[in-house]
Structure 1
Amino acid sequence: MTGCQLSLRALVTSRRTGCSVSFFAGGIGIGAWAASLPLLAAKLNIDKGQLGALLLCFALGAIALMVNVGRVSDRLGSSSLLSFGGSLVFGAAIITIPVVDGLLLSGALIVVAGAGFGTLDVSMNIEAAEIERASGRHLMSSFHALFSIGNIVGAFLVGVAVTYGGRLQECLGVAGLLIVSLRLPPEPSGAKQTRMQSRPLPTQTPNLRPRSTGSSECWS
């Protein structure tokens, strides 16, 4: 195995670790957010219809970014950077939601949280596809499994917090801090590096077939 192959494998492994953390952190955020909805409704003193409107705000923010992140990723040439940014926005919004009052302000922050998650969701799947192509292995199912595990962990943490008297601030605050702290900043990488990762590894087996000239000294 050449130094080029070793370097490429190390780079893929590093990116896979970061992408795995993104899926896990995103899962924690969604699990904690869903489990905290009754606490949010109680804090704002809203009915089921108003709670549904807040859920729609999250969906609108997510969809607005999901349909555009792919194009932005192509222009930037770095899905890791978008994934990192989405994690920060999602985590910061989750932390901030419990400390604001009023339906309108909460709705605005929930739109931002949805936008952060939408950015994170699409960009980390783009990155996962790039890693899968570079490694030549089927990895997507493992990334999605980590997201599901994160869902369970996030909901479990909220359940434990509520059992011991935890409020909305503690539940979403801890989840938001986990999202922000787990996602490490991406390594500097550009479009050229991404294209290199997508190329197949060069083979080191020499081609010993003689050329068509018939000369015994001509080998490729």
Structure 2
Amino acid sequence: MEHSLSSRQIQRWRVAIYFIFALPGFALASWVSRTPTIRDSLGATTSEMGWIIFGLAVGSIVGLLSASHLIAGRGGRFVMMTGLAVSSAGLGIVALSGVWLTGGIAVFLGLAVFGFGNGICDVAMNVEGTAVERAAQKSLLTGFHAAFSVGNLVGAVAGSAAVGAGLSVLAHLSLAAVVVILCAVYFFRFVPAGTGQERAAESGEPPMTARERMAVWKEPRTILIGIVVLGMAFAEGSANDWLPLVIVDGYHVSPATGSFAFGLFVAAMTICRAAGGMLLDRFGRVAVLRASALSAIAGLLIVIWGQSFTAAAIGVVLWGFGSAFGFPVGLSAAGDDPRGVAARVGAVSTAGYLAFLVGPPILGVIGDSVGLLRALIIVLIGVVVAGLLCHAARPIGAQTDDTNFKA
């Protein structure tokens, strides 16, 4: 399908996907920025708030597991837009819960709806991203993930401004939901229909059945890519959840300094993802993933056994560089074969999100016994395993991995 598009159509498609990647990041940051206010309005304890937020994880996992079947039947564009609409509805439920005063159950349900929409949209937009890569013959998925980070940053800044201006949760989250819907409707027209949809006419083979789509979980290449993504996503997710506390507790610095260290991590990762397409086209997936793993390993070693905050800050930057590529490059590799692309991207996405959602709590339990710094040894082991398996991301049928896209 993508081969029949003009260069102008491909460019518009590419720009639309950049913005669509940014929208879930914006929506997620909008919710996160209001968690203190929502907690206070509910009168929830930290433990109760943890269970309320678990609704987001439940919805996300259900969405991720459902996405490949929805995409195979209706195509990526339909599922992306449906996901954005559903996640916006979830934000609306969370916003209204403060008016209804129905307690944490309404917030839990709203977050479950929000997570489901984000889950199906996440797989669909990554399927679209791999299709744009094939059409443009360029490595683009790391750039798309950088757009998610930019959306996250914009949402965080907007949320901080809303809190500072005294804007209510209802007004803020409702406005954020409207922004997401309006942007989705605008960019809808630039995305071709049917990406990832299983059609016999396009491939010359019969469409994959539901059983065949589930069978991708047994494919050796998909399993290995999933392990790579699992290890690298664990490195990213553990930093997102624990890095400020790791630095504050491990190096006895102020909370502001801990937040500064987290900012270094996010900045390093975003810069790497923005430059990722150029690096991937020049050196290929396997070389970039191996360099990423080495960078993350070096960074984690410095953070765990560093003797000063200055050394730890250098380690944090290397950790951020190393965490930038695992998730998007793994998804790009999973999308090499157009037949069954939604199923494979969905499987690898699920592995990554399990690391994001389940890994950090496990780290917290271990950290209670040995301290957060030493608990990072588990993350280090995961990155080492991922680094050893990077060869699985080599393009299908390629003997070498000089570049991802060859003329």
TM-score, normalization by structure 1? 0.80
Q: 1:129 to 1:177 in 2, by over 3 A?
A: same
Helix, strand or coil at the partner of 2:151 = helix
Match of 1:36 among 34, 37, 50: 34
Q: Which residue of 2 aligns with 1:86?
A: 83
Gaps of 5+ in 1: 200-220
Where do residues 1-220 of structure 1 align in structure 2 (5 Å cutoff)? Answer: 7-76=5-74, 78-100=75-97, 101-102=101-102, 103-184=104-185, 185-186=188-189, 189-190=193-194, 191=197
* Structure 1 residue 7, shift from structure 2 partner: 4.0
Q: Residues 93 and 107 of structure 2 are in contact (CA less than 8 Å); yes or no, is this contact kept in structure 1?
A: no
Q: Residues 18 and 183 of structure 1 are in contact (CA less than 8 Å); yes or no, is this contact kept in structure 2?
A: no
Helix, strand or coil at the partner of 1:138 = coil
* Structure 1 residue 170, shift from structure 2 partner: 2.4
Q: Residues 39 and 167 of structure 1 are in contact (CA less than 8 Å); yes or no, is this contact kept in structure 2?
A: no
Mean CA deviation greater in 145-154 or 168-177: 168-177
Letter in 2 for 1:41: R
Q: Residues 87 and 118 of structure 2 are in contact (CA less than 8 Å); yes or no, is this contact kept in structure 1?
A: yes
- 2: CA distance between counterparts of 1:35 and 1:86? 21
Helix, strand or coil at the partner of 2:6 = helix
Aligned residues: 193
Q: 1:63 to 1:133 in 2, by over 3 A?
A: same
- 1: CA distance between counterparts of 2:202 and 2:182? 29
Letter in 2 for 1:92: A
Q: 1:146 to 1:195 in 2, by over 3 A?
A: farther
- 2: CA distance between counterparts of 1:47 and 1:21? 36
Q: Residues 93 and 106 of structure 2 are in contact (CA less than 8 Å); yes or no, is this contact kept in structure 1?
A: no
- 1: CA distance between counterparts of 2:3 and 2:40? 56
* Structure 1 residue 148, shift from structure 2 partner: 0.2
Q: Rg larger in 1 or in 2?
A: 1
Task: Compute the RMSD of aligned alpha carbons.
Answer: 2.4
1:11-66 Cα distance to aligned partner (Å, 9 max, x none): 32232222112111111001111111111111222111111011111110000110
Q: Residues 95 and 177 of structure 1 are in contact (CA less than 8 Å); yes or no, is this contact kept in structure 2?
A: no
- 2: CA distance between counterparts of 1:7 and 1:125? 19
Q: Residues 23 and 124 of structure 1 are in contact (CA less than 8 Å); yes or no, is this contact kept in structure 2?
A: yes
Structure richer in helix, relative to its length? 2
Q: 1:195 to 1:163 in 2, by over 3 A?
A: farther
Letter in 1 for 2:77: S
Gaps of 5+ in 2: 204-335, 338-407
* Structure 1 residue 6, shift from structure 2 partner: 8.4
Q: Residues 40 and 98 of structure 1 are in contact (CA less than 8 Å); yes or no, is this contact kept in structure 2?
A: no
- 2: CA distance between counterparts of 1:7 and 1:71? 26
Q: 1:16 to 1:195 in 2, by over 3 A?
A: farther
Q: Residues 89 and 116 of structure 1 are in contact (CA less than 8 Å); yes or no, is this contact kept in structure 2?
A: yes
Q: 1:16 to 1:41 in 2, by over 3 A?
A: same
Q: Residues 61 and 116 of structure 2 are in contact (CA less than 8 Å); yes or no, is this contact kept in structure 1?
A: yes
Greater RCO (Cα-Cα under 8 Å, separation 6 or more): 1
Q: Residues 161 and 170 of structure 1 are in contact (CA less than 8 Å); yes or no, is this contact kept in structure 2?
A: no
- 1: CA distance between counterparts of 2:132 and 2:174? 31
Letter in 2 for 1:79: G
- 1: CA distance between counterparts of 2:155 and 2:128? 23
TM-score, normalization by structure 2? 0.44
Q: Residues 92 and 180 of structure 1 are in contact (CA less than 8 Å); yes or no, is this contact kept in structure 2?
A: no
Q: Residues 52 and 105 of structure 2 are in contact (CA less than 8 Å); yes or no, is this contact kept in structure 1?
A: no
Q: 1:48 to 1:69 in 2, by over 3 A?
A: same
